[in-house]
A and B are shown apart, each in its own frame.
Chain A
Amino acid sequence: MDVLLQAIASGLLIGMVYALISVGLTLIFGLMEIVNFAHGEFLMLAMYAAFWGSLLFGLDPMVSLPATVLALAALGVLTYYGIIARILKAPMLAQIFATFGLGLLLRGLAQFFWTANFRTVPDSFLAGLFGGTVRVGAVSLGVPQIAAALLAGLAFAGLYLFIRHTRTGLALQAVAEDRGTAALMGINSDRMFALGWGLGAGCVGIAGAVLASFYYIYPSVGVLFALIAYIVVALGGFGSVPGALVAGLLVGLVEVVSPTLFGFSPAYKYAVVFGLYLVVVLIRPRGLFGQF
């Protein structure tokens, strides 16, 4: 029982991080129906930004977080104007592969310049906080994981409020709904798309800075996280922000709880997650929160 509680708590915590990584992806898709296949590499770059900030300037990932987020947002905007804006009207194949190519390029460059070695941020603030773990009853949780989940929650709340309650957020929604009509209302969809990419990449920046505090950093670190993010987004319904949150938690839970519950090797946990995705889309092709 305690083992199960422990698994549930851990699952929910990692699920929050998955949700945060995924929300940027779903935001961009909801806005312009393009999947950013370089999403994992964005995350990887954010983690390296935190790592280099710590190594070169002695800044803790939490201190450099704003800079990381800004850098990532800039990368997102740059990606939009440099690549995405040029392929908006291209066939779907080109759309899929353009960002895929960007991902490969970034990963290759990271490997070339920073080697494939695993890096960690030594003595990060989050890892040392409260001795690193907290016990609640029989459940012991890592402080970095809790902080990550809390930050993810905050980011989610902020994003939600921004989209629902600011003029710019409403303009974003309008563009997502109908580009043409939004344009008639005087909304520049090009700028909204760029903003979407900035926001989406910025969210990844937060996730990367947090993950860098307690996770290994290496060039292909983003691959698995991105895969999970695609699953989360598809599961939650492409373009649905609440869907990303629920699906992120669900994936985190399934990943950690299922090996405990059914007693198979954790090595298969991702196979179970991908399997879950296939089952869900079989029943609900548009995902849990997807439209029609």
Chain B
Amino acid sequence: MSGDRPTAAMRQVSWAWVGLIALAAAAILIPLMFGGVAQLNLLVLVLLYSSLAQAWNILGGFAGQVSLGNAAFFGIGAYTSTMMLIEWNLSPWLGMIAGAVLAAVFAVIIGYPVFRLGGHYFAIATIALGEIMLIMFANWGFVGGAVGLSIPFIRGEDRRPADSWLFMQFNLNREGYLIIGIALAALVTVIAILIQRSKIGYYLRAIKNDELAARTLGVNVLRYKLIAIVISAALTAMLGTFYAQYLLFIDPETTMRLELSVLIALVAILGGVGTVAGPLIGAAVLIPLSELTRSALGGAGNTLDLVLYGGLIIIISVFQPNGLVALTRRGGKGRSTALPTDRQEAMAEEAPLLGGGDGR
């Protein structure tokens, strides 16, 4: 009987495969993609969104706290480093750290009240928070209001735009962005893996599975949720700084809008929530797809993005709640892990009757 049961070992194996395939694909694709600006842009975007989704995943996937306001942390990161750069001419690397700290503090301040709420409340509260941030920044003259902020070019001796590692700006050889993007993606992925294999990771999964049971096993639920949101927020803010330096322009709409929060979550969900491979797969599938519709349909592609995202979300939610990662498991076993509690209970009630002669 136990042979039919989905096992954790199966998961470990499929993850390893997914990781290997992703690595191999990257190893082949990256050299190929150095060809053009558009390809490089696409690659940077895939890295950015997979990292954002991975950071979201720590909170939304591991701990099961669905945030629809992660764009607020992204915006904090983008604005902190940009303001420090414009006002004090400080390196974005410092701004990146400052933004991460600020986002972490912000996360604790909001997490503390909001984490006492149940699932749906938390999701709505994060939407509200994201919107507050958007409104505040759009009306705050000091940070450029709705118009946004432009980051001045780094200029060389010849007064022409130049490259600078110190100021995280690459106007000539844009591969610099790719390297930073890869480094950040690696950082986020490593942190996710470390969390997954640590006490924190086990506790977050326990909280996601059953908060009450977790408490009886000594888990300080609020504390671990706060740890999750702090890590998620800090990493998201660091990526915000990177994004600001990549575009050299930020405004509240591009850095904090609700759609961004949704897209971040969608990438993780599409790939597979709560797994390290999921966000990578999700971004690798979704971002090129979305860029493709854009380039194929021109301006209309922007609106069809919504249709695409929406349609995908519905399909995944209804047919494959565990994301694309689950497809890599044998025979769609992943689905059985999504059994609702009440159905498990029903199964459990029947089990002694059915399993009486199971001959142990």
Contact = CB atoms under 8 A, between A and B. Distances in A.
A270 B317 contact: no
A3 interface: no
A92 interface: yes
Contact of A112 (B121, B273, B303): B303
Nearest to A231: B128
B223 interface: no
B42 interface: no
Interface in B60-76: 60, 64, 66, 68
A267 B313 CA distance: 33
A225 interface: no
Given A102-B310, A108-B306, A91 B128 contact: no
A90 B321 contact: yes
Highest count of chain B CB atoms <10 Å: which of A83, A94, A103, A281:
A94
B313 A104 contact: yes
Nearest to A100: B313
Contacts of A111: 303, 306
Highest count of chain A CB atoms <10 Å: which of B273, B307, B308:
B307
Contacts of B120: 29, 33, 35, 92, 96, 238
A278 interface: yes
B340 A83 contact: no
Main secondary structure of the interface of A (DSSP, over half): helix
A94 B343 contact: no
B124 A35 contact: yes
Contacts, number: 148
A271 B313 CA distance: 29
A274 B317 CA distance: 28
B300 to A, nearest CB: 7
Contacts of B123: 35, 96
A270 B307 CA distance: 28
A265 B139 contact: yes
Nearest to A238: B120
B317 A112 contact: no
Interface string B117-132: 1011101110111011
B344 to A, nearest CB: 10
B313 A98 contact: yes
Interface in A77-114: 83, 86-87, 89-98, 100-109, 111-112
A91 B338 contact: yes
A268 B139 contact: yes
A107 B308 CA distance: 11
A87 B319 CA distance: 9
A102 B340 contact: no
A223 interface: yes
